[in-house]
């Protein structure tokens, strides 16, 4: 197929609802699907790239919610190996092309589901470090109280066996969330709330680690009270000597 004809076909496909081909087109010619997909690849490093969304067309957010629920259920019941884009599409009764347009691989699909539950920027800028941190760990409490908490053990086990999955989740989920929390501490230090010699990576582990640990081992519950207690202990370490941080 010539580039000119491919361009015309691409425009016709773009004008159709997701998952449908134009009238009279029974299938895409060889090579056309790849070429059309290449036209839709968003910039790397953006939320649109993680979700694989095409620019210029409004997202159907009901599909996103259905996909997230189906992915988390599949992770909980059968593990990462059982998750396929085709299987999720059948589960939610959607065309698989509508999923492939958003997520180029199942690793991206799983990362999007996890990020949707946890939130990309958990530490809101409230002007007070305590409230910033309570907002951040509050996302863990809410997420681990739901489907993600029940799927976490299997997902961690799968990360241990699949280095590409582990790398995707570290870069797309954990790195973004930790950066948000680093920024909260940087704002607090600029306001004179915290000590200057903090080991920030260790502090972030202390802030978030208890939620993962309790969810994975189940020896104690994850609760709203726990979010306040964890933040209290972290602030005792972080606060500047002789200064009490505002509540």
- CB within 8 A of 14, min separation 6: which ones? 54, 56, 57
Percent of the chain at pLDDT > 70 equals 72
108-159 pLDDT per residue, tens = 999 999 999 999 889 989 999 999 999 999 999 999 999 899 899 999 999 9
Q: Is the pLDDT of residue 16 over 70?
A: no
> What is the structure's pLDDT at 41?
42
CA 154 and chain centroid, separation: 17
Structure tokens at 213: 């640990």
DSSP conformational letter for 82: G
Structure tokens at 35: 């070429």
Largest separation between any pair of C-alpha atoms in the chain: 76
Collapse the DSSP code of 16 into the 3-class scheme (helix H, G, I; strand E, B; otherwise coil) and give the result: coil
> What is the structure's pLDDT at 5?
61
> What is the structure's pLDDT at 81?
84
Which residue shows structure tokens 């990362």? 111
39-98 pLDDT per residue, tens = 444 444 444 445 554 454 556 677 889 999 999 999 888 888 889 999 999 999 999 998
Nearest Cα residue to 166 out of 67, 80, 230: 80
More confident residue, 25 or 132: 132
Please say whether the structural domain 120-146+156-238 has been given the CATH code 3.40.50.150.
Answer: no
More confident residue, 241 or 225: 225
pLDDT range class, residue 204, cuts 50, 70, 90: very high
- CB within 8 A of 206, min separation 6: which ones? 230, 233, 234, 237
Q: Is the pLDDT of residue 216 over 90?
A: yes
Which residue shows structure tokens 């539950």? 117
> What is the structure's pLDDT at 35?
47
> What is the structure's pLDDT at 202?
97
> What is the structure's pLDDT at 46?
46
Structure tokens at 50: 């993680």
Report the pLDDT averaged over residues 186-213: 95
Nearest Cα residue to 109 out of 139, 74, 140: 74
pLDDT range class, residue 28, cuts 50, 70, 90: low
Average pLDDT, the chain: 82
More confident residue, 39 or 166: 166
Q: Is the pLDDT of residue 195 over 70?
A: yes
């Amino acid at each position: 197929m010539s580039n000119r004809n491919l361009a015309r076909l691409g425009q016709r496909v773009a004008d159709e609802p997701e998952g449908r081909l134009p009238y009279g087109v029974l299938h895409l010619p060889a090579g056309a699907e790849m070429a059309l997909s290449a036209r839709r690849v968003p910039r790397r490093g953006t939320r649109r790239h993680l979700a694989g969304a095409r620019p210029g067309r409004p997202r159907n957010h009901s599909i996103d919610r259905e996909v997230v629920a189906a992915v988390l259920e599949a992770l909980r019941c059968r593990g990462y190996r059982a998750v396929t884009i085709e299987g999720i599409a059948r589960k939610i009764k959607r065309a698989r092309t509508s999923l492939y347009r958003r997520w180029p691989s199942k690793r991206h699909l799983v990362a999007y589901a996890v990020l949707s539950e946890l939130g990309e920027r958990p530490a809101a800028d409230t002007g007070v470090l305590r409230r910033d941190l309570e907002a951040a760990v509050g996302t863990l409490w809410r997420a681990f109280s739901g489907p993600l908490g029940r799927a976490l053990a299997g997902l961690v086990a799968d990360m241990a066996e699949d280095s590409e999955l582990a790398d995707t989740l570290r870069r797309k989920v954990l790195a973004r969330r930790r950066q948000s929390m680093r920024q909260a501490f940087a704002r607090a230090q600029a306001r004179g709330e915290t000590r200057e010699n903090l080991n920030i990576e260790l502090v972030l582990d202390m802030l978030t680690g208890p939620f993962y640990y309790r969810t994975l081992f189940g020896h104690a519950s994850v609760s709203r009270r726990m979010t306040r207690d964890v933040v209290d202990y972290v602030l005792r370490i972080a606060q500047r000597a002789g200064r009490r941080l505002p509540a």
